[in-house]
Chain A
Amino acid sequence: MSSSLPLFPVWLVDMLGSAMMIIISFVCVRYAQLLRRTDKDNVIWTYLLWLSLALALFSVSRSVGHIAKRLLLLAGHSDIWVELRPFSGSINSLTFVIVGSITLFFQRVHRINVQILSDKRAIEKASEELKWLNRNLEEMVRQRTAELSKSEAKYRRIFEGSMDIIMVFDLEGRFLDINQAGLNILGYTSKDELLSKATFADLIVPPPNPRQLMEEVAVAGFYKDLECRVQNREGETLTWLLSLTVSRKTDGEIGGFESIAKDITHRKKMEQQLLQADRLASLGELSAGVAHEVNNPLGMILGYTQLLLRNEPENTQDFQDLKIIEKHARNCKTIVEDLLKFARNAETKKGVLQVNDLVREVISVVEHQFTLDNVTIETKLDNSIPALCADGEKLKQVFMNLLMNARQAMTGQGRINIGTDYHSSRNQVNVTVADSGSGIPPKILEKIFDPFFTTKPTGEGTGLGLSVSYGIIKEHHGEINVQSTPGKGSTFIISFPLTLDEQEHCY
């Protein structure tokens, strides 16, 4: 007996332990159930419930086996236990496998749970954002719309109110938008009229080639301060200072072009007039110098020729020769005098006069001949124009020159319109002479006031008519401008300022 140990403590622990295992395992199941109820969607809690149930099954199968064994053996039914034992052991083995198998699912379950929680958080966040947007969207939209409207109105004001031309084109150069200044300058009354018809290529008068220009802009991204000529609806050529930029879509692709242009036609014209005035002033100085130098020897030639003629019988050859010398000397003298008039060195006798009277006088001289030549003269004289302080004879010469030029510009029948008017705001008197003749080619337009410039055949004109007129008008502090369309005719506009000094000088 000394080398043996009692098995009673073993069985006692076995019985009590088995009972405790069953009880504790069911409490575990209860807690797992409670845990799951806190959040039924949590797969981890579901997993723990399954694990607890499997362990409870394991505890029951094992503990019932142990207790049954003890009780059956105690009751002397070892034969029954022998029958039950294989089943108890097998079921016990199966419960191990079930618990183990469930345990192996933990990682997968955990991953699913992580994903679910992550998705849940994302959905909750999105839901919160949606709720917030739902509450504030209307206000946000209203606020943004107001801001947008304000901004749109601001830029629309700048766009529409700009004195410069602002244009928007698509990739093909078709007009998408243009401001009011652009419409006015191009001579269109409505936007739709322009947008449906004209393109950038229609607008630009080459060079530069409009297509090539747009390609260059597309490559460089912009083109700055390009001086180009543009044709308006009436066919007038304007000069614009143009800047072009590409407009890009949100994806970075070129969507079209935006352009700002300044109409510098008037400035260019003024610059040209200034240049012409400078040139003519230089020519005037030169002409005056030459005229003075030529005038004295010419006077001597004419004087001595006349002296010789007195003593020479009329029928001699010498008399005839002297007469020819006298005639040409007189022609030269006339030219010299004209040159002096152009150079404004000729004597001026200013007095108070009515321009309308001067115009009527000149017309009365030429009217008969013009009627015979089928050229009609129409007048539109403003009787309210004030009196001028001017040299009447010289002004008549100017009007006569202009009328003769107008007549010569016409082949066959034609019409000449002479008009006078008074611009009270500018305080100036204008005289307009318009003809329906052949017009002046643009190439020679800037040369017509140059001395000795003429388009007539040699011997038919000296080319001093307009030069002299220019000189006379300048002498009266006036301006002479010409507008001409080849094939349609020319219009000369003379303006005389009514300065106070001039008036006082006369009175």
Chain B
Amino acid sequence: MIFKSGRQNTIWAKIFLFFCFFISWPRAAWALQTHPAPEGLFAHMLAHLFFIATLAIFTYWLQTTGLSRERGWRLIQISCLMFILWNLDTFAVHWIEHTLTREMLITTGLDWAQRLSMTGGWRSWVYYFGKFDHLLCVPAMLLLLFGLRDLYRQAGNKGLPQHE
């Protein structure tokens, strides 16, 4: 009982035929988008940017709430700044990595013996030293540890937390 009258039947029949014609058009399907290789790197780099932004906000809040006046929180705040630097470093390395060609990696035998060709100019230098990113993130994590330890000792001494 979809079609009720002759005039209405004609209209619904036209719509139905147009829809059939549209879905049977011989072209690639529009509903699905493919995700080739660079998107993963870009998503990772965007995650770094997001991490930078949140750490910057956290650092700002620690400053505005006055918590940074206490040693423990100040160490955590510096840890955040170090993590921001680490993020910037890794972001730069990822970016340069994206632009470097495979020929710049010189492999001689074992993987340990690989060398980096410095033909990329400043990008090669930034890439090489940027790869030492643990020199930033390990101190950042240590500062976090010291900050937490300080807060713990302080809380233990005071009996009750005083942070507001």
Min CB–CB distance A2 → chain B (angstroms): 9
Q: How far is the CA of A94 from the CA of B132 in the complex (A)?
A: 22
Q: How far is the CA of A278 from the CA of B75 in the complex (A)?
A: 108
Q: Are the C-beta atoms of A100 and B117 separated by less than 8 Å?
A: no
List CB contacts (< 8 Å) of B34-80 with chain A: 40-41, 43-44, 47-48, 50-51, 53-55, 57-58, 61, 65, 67
Of all chain B residues, the one with the shortest Cβ separation from A44 is B163
What A residues does B55 contact at CB under 8 A? 100, 103
Contact of B134 among A20, A31, A74, A117 (CB under 8 A): A20
Interface string of A425-466 (1 = CB under 8 A from B): 000000000000000000000000000000000000000000
Of all chain A residues, the one with the shortest Cβ separation from B52 is A100
Q: Are the C-beta atoms of A96 and B138 separated by less than 8 Å?
A: no
What B residues does A39 contact at CB under 8 A? 155, 160-161
Most buried by B among A21, A24, A94, A114: A24
Q: Are the C-beta atoms of A3 and B54 separated by less than 8 Å?
A: no
Q: Are the C-beta atoms of B50 and A96 separated by less than 8 Å?
A: yes
Q: Are the C-beta atoms of A28 and B144 separated by less than 8 Å?
A: yes
**A86: interface (CB < 8 Å):** yes
- Total residues of chain A contacting the partner, CB 8 A: 56
Q: Are the C-beta atoms of A48 and B131 separated by less than 8 Å?
A: no
- With A10-B131, A93-B44 in contact, do A25 and B141 touch (Cβ < 8 Å)? yes
- With A10-B131, A59-B141, A93-B43 in contact, do A99 and B51 touch (Cβ < 8 Å)? yes
Min CB–CB distance A3 → chain B (angstroms): 5
List CB contacts (< 8 Å) of A1-60 with chain B: 1, 3-11, 13-14, 16-18, 20-21, 24-25, 27-28, 31-32, 34-35, 38-39, 42, 44-45, 48, 52, 55, 59
What B residues does A42 contact at CB under 8 A? 161, 163
Interface string of B132-164 (1 = CB under 8 A from A): 111101100110110011011001100011011
Contact of B61 among A86, A110, A113, A114 (CB under 8 A): A110
What B residues does A16 contact at CB under 8 A? 134
**B115: interface (CB < 8 Å):** yes
What A residues does B144 contact at CB under 8 A? 24, 28, 52, 55
Min CB–CB distance A28 → chain B (angstroms): 5
Interface size bracket, B side = 35 or more
Q: Are the C-beta atoms of A31 and B44 separated by less than 8 Å?
A: no
Q: Are the C-beta atoms of A100 and B51 separated by less than 8 Å?
A: yes
Q: Are the C-beta atoms of A17 and B138 separated by less than 8 Å?
A: yes
- With A38-B161, A97-B47 in contact, do A14 and B131 touch (Cβ < 8 Å)? yes
Of all chain A residues, the one with the shortest Cβ separation from B50 is A100
Q: How far is the CA of A104 from the CA of B114 in the complex (A)?
A: 41
Q: How far is the CA of A136 from the CA of B38 in the complex (A)?
A: 76
**A73: interface (CB < 8 Å):** yes
Q: How far is the CA of A17 from the CA of B142 in the complex (A)?
A: 12
Q: How far is the CA of A90 from the CA of B39 in the complex (A)?
A: 11
**B106: interface (CB < 8 Å):** yes
Min CB–CB distance A281 → chain B (angstroms): 96
What B residues does A3 contact at CB under 8 A? 117-119
**A107: interface (CB < 8 Å):** yes
Q: Are the C-beta atoms of A28 and B164 separated by less than 8 Å?
A: no
Q: Are the C-beta atoms of A7 and B116 separated by less than 8 Å?
A: yes
Q: Are the C-beta atoms of B137 and A35 separated by less than 8 Å?
A: no
What A residues does B47 contact at CB under 8 A? 93-94, 96-97, 100
What A residues does B67 contact at CB under 8 A? 110
- With A38-B156, A99-B51 in contact, do A89 and B44 touch (Cβ < 8 Å)? yes
Q: How far is the CA of A48 from the CA of B114 in the complex (A)?
A: 41
**A481: interface (CB < 8 Å):** no
**B113: interface (CB < 8 Å):** yes
**A92: interface (CB < 8 Å):** yes
Contact of B65 among A48, A59, A110 (CB under 8 A): A110
**B112: interface (CB < 8 Å):** yes
Q: How far is the CA of A305 from the CA of B5 in the complex (A)?
A: 157
Q: How far is the CA of A21 from the CA of B135 in the complex (A)?
A: 11
**A145: interface (CB < 8 Å):** no
Q: How far is the CA of A384 from the CA of B53 in the complex (A)?
A: 123
- With A3-B119, A74-B111, A100-B55 in contact, do A44 and B161 touch (Cβ < 8 Å)? yes
What A residues does B134 contact at CB under 8 A? 13-14, 16-18, 20-21
A-side interface residues toward B, CB under 8 Å?
1, 3-11, 13-14, 16-18, 20-21, 24-25, 27-28, 31-32, 34-35, 38-39, 42, 44-45, 48, 52, 55, 59, 70, 73-74, 86, 89-90, 92-94, 96-97, 99-101, 103-104, 106-107, 110, 113-114, 117
